[in-house]
Amino acid sequence: MRRNYTWLPRYRCPNTENQATKQYRSRNTRWNSRGLAHRLFQRVAEIIGTHQPKPYKGSYSILASTSSATVAKIIIYEAGKGKTNGNWPDLRDGVYALIRANDEIGDRIWNELLPPRLPAELDHAARQETIGVAPSHTEQFAYTRVTDETLEAIARYFAICALT
């Protein structure tokens, strides 16, 4: 049986294609960020080899060796997702390494454990520029963006922070 087809030109809606492309990029970026955050978490766990690194919903925490206090965190930041508290800096989407900056723990980390001048891998981490993250916004953290190139150095500094 022979069928007759009428061929019509395809109509592509530019807005739909753009939206689909944006969703794909967002999803792809999210997966890449999750993978990077998890690799950093695993590397820290390999270095310190104890129960100190803890995965939580939406982040990873590195705990002090002498208490249950959080000394460092790994978060994935996506603009427009979640809730920010206070005046957050203008961050790019991606993975961020946070180092505790306040209280006695912050004093010990920044005054005794970390060198006075941080290496280039931690170039943006400054004790004076901090953010707070849930669940306890009173804990303040210096922050720097994580990349594949900076992952190893950040993991080693997180291990140093865990000595508190």
Between 77 and 28, residue with greater pLDDT: 77
Confidence of residue 86 (pLDDT cuts 50, 70, 90): low
Pick the closest to residue 158 from 77, 71, 96 (CA basis): 71
Whole-angstrom CA distances from 143 to 6, 42, 58, 61, 122 are 60, 19, 16, 14, 8
Task: Give the pLDDT of residue 121.
Answer: 74
Task: Give the pLDDT of residue 88.
Answer: 76
Alpha helices in 65-125 (DSSP H): 103-108
Q: At which residue do the structure tokens 């005046």 appear?
A: 87
Q: Starting at the earlier edge strand, list the strands of the sheet with 130-132.
A: 53-56, 59-63, 70-77, 94-100, 140-145, 130-132
Q: What are phi and psi of 55, to 5 degrees?
A: -80, 135
Other beta carbons within 10 Å of 90: 5
Stretch 119-130: mean pLDDT, rounded? 79
Pick the closest to residue 26 from 74, 75, 79 (CA basis): 79
Task: Give the pLDDT of residue 24.
Answer: 47
Max mean pLDDT among 45-49, 76-80, 95-99, 128-132 falls in 95-99
Stretch 70-84: mean pLDDT, rounded? 84
Stretch 40-62: mean pLDDT, rounded? 84
The CA-to-CA distance between both ends of the chain, in Å, stands at 81
Confidence of residue 13 (pLDDT cuts 50, 70, 90): very low
pTM, 2 dp: 0.77
Task: Give the pLDDT of residue 82.
Answer: 72
